[in-house]
Chains A and B, each alone.
Chain A
Amino acid sequence: MTTAAEFVAVSRHFGDFTAVDSLDLAIREGALTTLLGPSGCGKTTSLRMLAGYIEPSAGKIMIGGKDHTDAPPEKRDLGMVFQSYALFPHMTVAGNVGFGLKLRKVPRAERARRVAEALELVGLGHLGDRRPKALSGGQQQRVALARAIAIRPRLLLLDEPLSNLDARLRVQMRGEIRRIQAETGLTVVLVTHDQEEALEMSDHMVVMNAGRVMQQGAPDELFPAPANRFVAEFLGYENFLTLPERGLVTVRPELLTVAPGDVGGGETAVSATVRSIAYRGVEVRVALDATTGAGGATTPLVASLRGDALTPEDRAALHPGGRVTVSARPDHLVSLAG
């Protein structure tokens, strides 16, 4: 594995606020890496430090094996797509896409060819003469992508690129960006707060909180095995309970079994009271209060059941106040670090 860029003990402070706290992170060549986290976690600050728009307070930014910590953005050769797209309003689409090539003194004929090629890649081959404001949001986003790709950057940086699109287009663009990445072989760093987007798009995902990396790995390694409560919550886990022998564990709602009756708890079964039920067609979501402590202390749990798998006895027990037993297979419980 080759490293395209690397953060070496990078910190950034804004006054008393530590946005990024001694970040060590390698960006793998040719892969799509996402920085995922809630707002204020330091993901955008990290991306902007990589691009050269923010200076690190400490540490080094390596690009292509060389120290670029003090290099201005124009000396880094990176393609960036901004959240606002930042298309130049006084230039045509082709003018926008060709801007970086003009600065690189690419001859006119080759420039035209590469602009057309980049626009073709994002599916806008026919719109070169338009002004950006005459395009839809989704089209503007593609122009911003084409502009960043046209310079054949060492890395393509995407700052929340899909957050301004409507839901349907957003899902479609996830696939588009993956396709473009595969076709160009570009190294991509994408910043997002949407865990679904990160899971679907990443080769490697980095979950950040309070300026630190909480956990990183491939989506299919990371999702089933969150390392701590923060990562678990951020990935959408809802059930957290402390078991006498295993400490803090989490389990996904669809991996819980709910049976009628008040059975004494073993390691993986607890008795619970039904709080509320929500029918969602295929899925039936049951909110429960599980008795976990000695003195009758309860922990809220959510179970997601298959509606068509419920027996008449199950249905009879599933009403607010009903007593049930909740159980899970031991290997479905994930132990968390806290």
Chain B
Amino acid sequence: MKRSSPVAASLAVLGYLVMIVPILFVVATAFTEGETLRFPPEGLSLRWFDEATSYQPFTDALLSSLQLALLATVLALAVGIPATLAIMRGRLPGRSLVEGLFLSPLILPELVVGLALFQQLMLQLELDNFQALLIGHTALLLPYAVRVTGASLVLADPALEEAARGLGASPLRTFFTVTLPVLRPGIISAALLSFVTSFNNVPISLLLQSRDFRTLPVTMLDYVQQNYTPIIAAMSTLLLAATVVLAVVAERILGFARIFGGINR
């Protein structure tokens, strides 16, 4: 790696400070013994973690969020991977149009998407809010699935699939024995990115929520609007810890370079 200039280095340090320091304040306040979100924390205790993990709206919402993120990720990959292959390897008429369609949720304001889905799916088609959320989140994740797996497909040698065909594999067999394994790091990274994107989403989840099914970010947002207790800091800290653990595990298993490089070589 080449040496960076002192200016670039200071900017990088400043950037990290701006991003990380506020988070540290949140983490610190989560350990308070007092009743209010205040820094410095008054005393040290884990009571707010107890509160957070036993507060039923949070635990319900956490399960809902996990369920939604998992299903939406699976659906987005199931639709996105074949779509990527068709766009990049197939002889698709108007492929840039199709690609644009799959990437469009990235550009459209999510509130508009949410509102449109609310009107069409819930009011017109009378789907329940879980179905509407699942469709909304899947659409939201499609660009990530298509882009990230697409990036690894660009790096993959097209002759690999030709070689498999030449050795006697049908197109379907080639897909499962060669294409998917070669794209595995790309698919894992698309899955991680999709899962986190769905899990953190607020705008679409906000518009499509109901009393029975509400995601964790929406529930937390709702909570903060009415209460200002350290329970929210504790919940945030738990989410942060879970994300860090996920990242470390992914790094251990695959390495970030491979996850974000996205190709099995």
Contacts and interface: CB of A to CB of B under 8 A. Distances in A.
The judgment on whether A and B are partners is yes
A74 B178 contact: no
Given A84-B157, A89-B264, A90-B264, A72 B165 contact: yes
Given A86-B157, A88-B178, A100 B168 contact: yes
A90 to B, nearest CB: 4
A51 interface: yes
Contacts of B177: 99
A147 interface: yes
B255 to A, nearest CB: 15
Contacts of A103: 167-169, 173
A329 B157 CA distance: 53
B162 A73 contact: yes
B89 to A, nearest CB: 12
Main SS of the interface on chain A? loop
Interface residues of A, number: 26
Contact of A99 (B157, B167, B170): B167
Q: Which of A53, A86, A103 has the most CB of B within 10 A?
A: A86
Contacts of B157: 84, 86
A316 B177 CA distance: 72
Contacts of B178: 88
A84 B159 CA distance: 8
B166 to A, nearest CB: 5
A82 interface: yes
Interface string B177-200: 110011010000000000000000
B202 interface: no
A83 B170 CA distance: 22
Main SS of the interface on chain B? helix
Interface in A207-266: none
B9 interface: no
B252 interface: no
B254 interface: no
Nearest to A147: B167
Interface in A67-83: 72-74, 76-80, 82-83
Given A82-B159, A84-B159, A90-B182, A133 B166 contact: no
Given A86-B157, A86-B159, A90-B181, A74 B165 contact: yes
Nearest to A91: B181
B3 interface: no
A77 B167 CA distance: 7
A74 B265 contact: no
Q: Which of A53, A78, A79, A89 has the most CB of B within 10 A?
A: A89
Given A74-B168, A74-B169, A133-B265, A80 B163 contact: yes
A66 interface: no
A90 B182 CA distance: 7
A161 to B, nearest CB: 13
Nearest to B167: A100
B164 interface: yes
A104 interface: yes
B160 interface: yes
B166 A78 contact: yes
A168 B163 CA distance: 27
B259 to A, nearest CB: 16
Contacts of A52: 165-166
Nearest to B156: A89
14 contacts: A53-B165, A72-B171, A73-B165, A74-B167, A76-B166, A78-B166, A79-B166, A80-B163, A82-B162, A84-B157, A86-B160, A88-B160, A99-B164, A103-B173
